[in-house]
């Protein structure tokens, strides 16, 4: 394989090589950068192993290259130099680590063979530089295979358990049988990994295509329930007759349905042709909520967890029908605990909780016809910037309920309802924050009320009446309050 380094990276590495040569430091390109370059993939993350104290080298490199020094791992001597291209704003990460002993020894402690390939920086000027490849990582790249470097790879760093599946998803590779067996027998080690690291690997996995397939694969490897033990009780929990799957499989099928709905390849698919679609919707789901985490990623996670509380809320009515009263609110609480454990941000957690808590609300709004203006106003008011996400979670939930028994007439009606609610979105955004007709001071001064939650309740009632057109003037607002107080 030719090591095809793009011109800008080659120029950058020439500067790095020159700096290290002046410092008389032997150095190697290692890990993901070599892997991606051999595959012809673009990457701005460059791993450099140095035969020196990496923290000191990184500090000097940051100064010499006009970059920013970031300490990543003091115990393992790993530091980053962040470089920004002033012309295009591209950001480069140079991660320096210390080589202790020969480079081959360093590579023997890495996770997978495809990441255990190195190139001496001095060789980089050649089109076909010598690859230091003691574990045949190049052959595994050619075969599309993920193989652990050693039998202790996962014991050395249990985060590699999830990383193996994430790499398989990102690169379209297979995990070899021996490594797969190691993951299955050591799956519980993932519980030892810090929540932040699990979150990072999980979000990268959820951002790939065919996520539902890899969630099933995680379950096969015994990793899914190790990460989410709260899913264990959902296995085998039967649902009402309209449901094709039990709660556990319905949850994964909801993720699959969601991926289908978000796909841009809907031509010829009668089911997808009925789904509300527009360019702003596509852009909505591509929006980053936090660094590297998009709305679609969080929505997939919400889909996986949306029925997490069904087992403990299940009851059987006298006619034999199963009910799950309160599972949406209880599920939001359980999901919040999970997301806190995995160190999701407050905003991410609240968004997912709102999706889970409200995923049945739109069905209930539909009734026999179109929802009222009041119901639509309250939906957008209460769900905020998660409203569109909830609409698509509702659609996915419907598809995953009926599965192969989908009734196209019911599906068409459901899509029309969602399309109607979506069409009201911009109107309702304006209504949720209408121009104030009265405020708290008016209620205190005119009606003699004392500061209390009652004032907030009255003002919200006024805003709602204003939003649906029942009142339009200050006088009408005061009359509305007077009537409410007299009730």
Under a CB-based contact definition with an 8 Å cutoff, are residues 91 and 83 in contact?
yes
pLDDT (tens, 9 = 90+) of the chain, 487 residues, equals 556 677 778 888 889 999 999 999 999 999 899 999 899 888 888 999 999 999 999 999 999 999 999 998 888 899 999 998 777 667 889 999 999 889 999 999 999 999 999 999 988 777 778 999 999 999 999 999 999 999 999 999 999 999 999 999 999 999 999 999 999 999 999 999 999 999 999 999 999 989 999 999 999 999 999 999 999 999 999 999 999 999 999 999 999 999 999 886 656 788 988 888 776 888 899 999 987 899 999 999 999 999 999 999 999 999 888 999 999 999 999 999 999 999 999 999 999 999 999 999 988 776 667 888 888 888 988 898 899 999 999 999 999 999 999 999 999 999 998 988 888 776 665 555 667 888 888 888 888 888 888 888 888 888 878 777 788 888 888 888 888 888 7
| CB-based contacts of 195, cutoff 8 Å, min separation 6 | 341, 342, 343
Q: Structural domain of residue 68, as residue ranges?
A: 7-143
Contacts of 114 (CB under 8 A, 6+ apart): 35, 137, 140, 141, 145, 146, 147, 167, 173
My answer on whether 50 and 190 are in the same domain is no
CATH number of the CATH domain containing 35: 3.30.460.10
Same domain, 375 and 336: yes
* Total count of residues recorded for the chain: 487
Residues 125 and 204 both lie in one domain: no
Query: Residues 346, 269: one domain?
Result: yes
* Whether 298 and 320 share a structural domain: yes
Check which CATH number belongs to the domain holding 193 and give it: 1.10.110.30
The answer to whether the CB of 63 falls within 8 A of the CB of 19 is no
Query: Of 227, 260, 275, which closes a domain?
Result: 227
Q: Is residue 253 part of a domain?
A: yes
The count of other CB atoms within 10 Å of the CB of residue 486 is 6
Query: How many folded domains does the chain comprise?
Result: 4
Which DSSP string do the residues of 70-109 spell out, in sequence order? Answer: EEEETTTTEEEEEEE-TTT--EEEEEEEE--S-HHHHHHT
Q: Could you tell me if residue 243 is inside a domain?
A: yes
Q: Are residues 422 and 277 in the same domain?
A: yes
**Does a structural domain hold residue 133?**
yes
Does residue 342 sit in the same domain as residue 282? Answer: yes
- 233 occurs within a structural domain: no
Residues 408 and 372 in one domain: yes
Cα distance between residue 151 and residue 117, in whole Å: 18
Question: Where a domain ends, among 85, 114, 143?
Answer: 143
In a domain, 331, yes or no: yes
Spell out the SS3 assignment of 396-451.
Answer: HHHHHHHHHHCCHHHHHHHHHHHHHHHHCHHHHHHHHCCCCCCCHHHHHHHHCCCC
Backbone conformation region of residue 240, classed left if phi is above 0, alpha if psi is from -120 to 50, else beta:
beta
Q: Are residues 255 and 130 in the same domain?
A: no
Kindly state whether residue 105 falls inside one of the protein's structural domains.
yes
Both 118 and 172 in one domain: the answer is: no
179 near 187, Cβ under 8 Å? Answer: no
145-146 and 174-175 beta bridge pairing: parallel
Which of 396, 411, 432 corresponds to the end of one domain? 432
Residue 410 lies inside a defined structural domain of this protein = yes
Q: Vertex 85, ends 79 and 91: CA angle to 5°?
A: 45
Domain match, 125 and 170 both: no
Same domain, 376 and 275: yes
Give the residue ranges of DSSP H helices in 127-229: 137-143, 153-156, 159-171, 177-185, 195-206, 211-220, 224-227
In a domain, 2, yes or no: no
């Amino acid at each position: 394989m030719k090591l095809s380094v793009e011109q800008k990276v080659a120029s950058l590495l020439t500067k790095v090589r020159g700096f290290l040569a002046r410092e008389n430091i032997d150095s190697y390109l290692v890990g993901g950068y070599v892997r991606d370059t051999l595959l012809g993939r673009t990457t701005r993350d460059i791993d450099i192993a140095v035969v020196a104290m990496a923290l000191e080298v990184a500090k000097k490199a940051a100064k010499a290259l006009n970059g920013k020094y970031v300490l990543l791992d003091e115990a393992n001597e790993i530091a980053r130099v962040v470089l920004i291209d002033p012309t295009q704003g591209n950001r480069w990460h140079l991660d320096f680590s210390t080589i202790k002993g020969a480079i081959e020894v360093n590579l023997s402690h890495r996770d997978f063979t495809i990441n255990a390939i190195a190139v001496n920086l001095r060789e980089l000027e050649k089109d076909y530089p010598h690859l230091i490849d003691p574990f045949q990582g190049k052959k595994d790249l050619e075969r599309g295979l993920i193989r652990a470097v050693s039998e202790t790879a996962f014991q050395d760093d249990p985060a590699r358990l999830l990383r193996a599946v994430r790499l398989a998803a990102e690169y379209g590779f297979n995990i070899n049988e021996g490594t797969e067996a190691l993951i299955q027998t050591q799956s519980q080690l993932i519980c030892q990994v810090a929540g932040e690291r699990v979150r990072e690997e999980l979000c990268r996995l959820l951002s790939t295509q065919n996520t539902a397939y890899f969630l099933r694969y995680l379950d096969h490897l015994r990793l899914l329930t190790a990460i989410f033990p709260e899913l264990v009780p959902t296995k085998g929990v039967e649902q009402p007759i309209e449901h094709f799957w039990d709660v556990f499989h319905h949850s994964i099928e909801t993720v699959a349905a969601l991926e289908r709905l978000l796909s841009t390849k809907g031509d010829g698919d009668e089911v997808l042709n009925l789904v509300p679609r527009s360019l702003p919707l596509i852009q909505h789901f591509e929006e980053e909520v936090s660094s590297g985490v998009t709305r679609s990623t969080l929505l997939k996670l919400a889909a996986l967890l949306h029925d997490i509380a069904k087992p403990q809320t299940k009851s059987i009515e006298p006619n034999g029908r199963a009910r799950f009263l309160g599972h949406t609110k209880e599920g939001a609480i359980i999901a919040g605990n999970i997301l806190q454990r995995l160190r999701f941000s407050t905003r991410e957690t609240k968004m997912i909780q709102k999706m889970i808590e409200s995923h049945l609300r739109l069905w209930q709004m539909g009734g026999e016809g179109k929802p009222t203006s009041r119901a639509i106003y309250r939906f957008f008011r209460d769900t905020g910037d998660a409203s569109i996400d909830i609409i698509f979670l509702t659609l996915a939930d419907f598809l995953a309920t009926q599965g192969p028994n989908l009734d196209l007439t019911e599906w068409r009606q459901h899509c029309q309802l969602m399309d109607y609610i979506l069409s009201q979105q911009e109107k309702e955004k304006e209504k949720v924050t209408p121009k104030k007709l009265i405020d708290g001071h008016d209620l205190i001064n005119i009606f003699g009320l004392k500061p209390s939650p009652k004032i907030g309740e009255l003002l919200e009632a006024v805003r709602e009446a204003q939003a649906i057109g029942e009142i339009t003037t200050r006088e009408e607002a005061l009359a509305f309050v007077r009537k409410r107080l007299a009730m």
